[in-house]
Amino acid sequence: MQKTFRKTVALTEAQIKRLQQLSELDGKDPLIHVRTAIDQYLKKQNFDLLLPNQESISAKFTGRVEDENIARAIWASGVVDRYEFSALILHEPTKLGIDKGRISKLSIWDPIIKENTKNFIDSCIVNYDRGWDIRPSKIAQPYFDAVKSLLNSSFSL
């Protein structure tokens, strides 16, 4: 059964012209050529990604500092395997915290991507700033869980 996606894809003038030429040559609908190209592209992709093993992920703190602007709030930073994280922990639970708890802000990012792109948000695998900007994907979930567990056990959340 085919699934129909309702996504608009903008083609360049050169792509449109090439599709018209192919269609004139073989008499097939341009959509057939597009589907064939997509199929060929997907066949070349490596989707053999392994989900990280939760037990093999370790998180640790690299720093803690009190927030100067918020009474009794702490900024915690650390590493979780190859990623870095930063979190703002409030004294009291808040409706804007993760799961209505004390974690008001949490970012987990890839430092290599951050360095290469010079763009923080592009390097994030998780970002919560009083609401979800980037939710944990299936691959990011174990890292998020490890950081959240570390924060829970260290700050009695």
Mean pLDDT value of segment 18-45: 87
Per the domain annotation, does 8 fall within a domain?
A: no
Per the domain annotation, does 7 fall within a domain?
A: no
What is the C-alpha separation between 60 and 151, in angstroms, rounded?
Answer: 10
> Has residue 17 got a pLDDT over 70?
yes
Q: Are residues 106 and 40 in the same domain?
A: no
Expressed as residue numbers, the domain containing 65 is 55-155
Q: Compute how many other C-beta atoms are within 10 angstroms of the C-beta atom of residue 103.
A: 22
User: Please, are residues 105 and 130 in contact by the beta-carbon 8 Å criterion?
Assistant: yes
Mean pLDDT value of segment 128-157: 90
Instruction: Please give the model's pTM, rounded to 2 decimal places.
Output: 0.68
Reported residue count of the chain is 157
Could you give the strand order of the β-sheet that contains 74-80, starting from the edge strand earlier in sequence?
59-66, 74-80, 83-89, 103-109, 124-129, 132-134
User: Please, are residues 78 and 59 in contact by the beta-carbon 8 Å criterion?
Assistant: yes
Q: Are residues 32 and 106 in the same domain?
A: no
Which pLDDT does position 2 carry in this prediction? 62
Q: Are residues 61 and 123 in the same domain?
A: yes
Which pLDDT does position 126 carry in this prediction? 97
Cα–Cα nearest to 126, from 146, 145, 106, 112: 106
Q: Are residues 31 and 68 in the same domain?
A: no
Could you give the number of structural domains in the chain?
2
Mean pLDDT value of segment 54-81: 86
Mean pLDDT value of segment 26-38: 88
> Has residue 9 got a pLDDT over 80?
no
129 Cβ neighbours under 8 A, 6+ residues apart: 105, 107
| Confidence category of residue 33, pLDDT binned at 50, 70, 90 | confident
